[in-house]
Amino acid sequence: MLYGVYGDSGFMQALKRSSSIKLSPNPANDIVTISFTGPESVGDIEVFDVTGRLIQNIPAREVSSDVDFHMNVNSYPAGIYFLKTIDENGISYQKQLAIEH
């Protein structure tokens, strides 16, 4: 059994939410495709750098959970980023993205 800072059930729930968002390619250098396999609908997608600074906010009206979304990351400096969104039930989803140029 796997235990961590989330505890048993919290860890598994966080892992499930993380796997509900697919990023490809990852690492990316130009365009990254965001696919959703879990939430029925998503809110804004927020992109943060490793310092927690909001880099980009993609409004929910531009994103559909049943269609792949293509995000241009060409202007982002190389590094690690975090994508975050919240579904219609207020559940947060987060995924790490690496950018290499």
pLDDT at 15 over 50: no
d(CA 34, CA 67): 9
Please give the domain boundaries of the chain with CATH numbers for all domains: 7-99 (2.60.40.3080)
The verdict on whether omega for the bond into residue 77 sits within 30 degrees of 0, i.e. cis, is: no
Q: What is the pLDDT of residue 5?
A: 47
pTM beyond 0.85, yes or no: no
Q: What percentage of the chain carries pLDDT values higher than 90? A: 51
Count CB-CB contacts under 10 A for residue 21: 22
pLDDT tens, position by position, 50-90: 999 999 999 988 887 778 899 999 999 999 999 999 888 88
pLDDT confidence bin for 38, thresholds 50/70/90: low
Whole-number mean pLDDT of the chain?
83
pLDDT confidence bin for 41, thresholds 50/70/90: confident
Residue 27 contacts residue 98 (beta carbons within 8 Å): yes
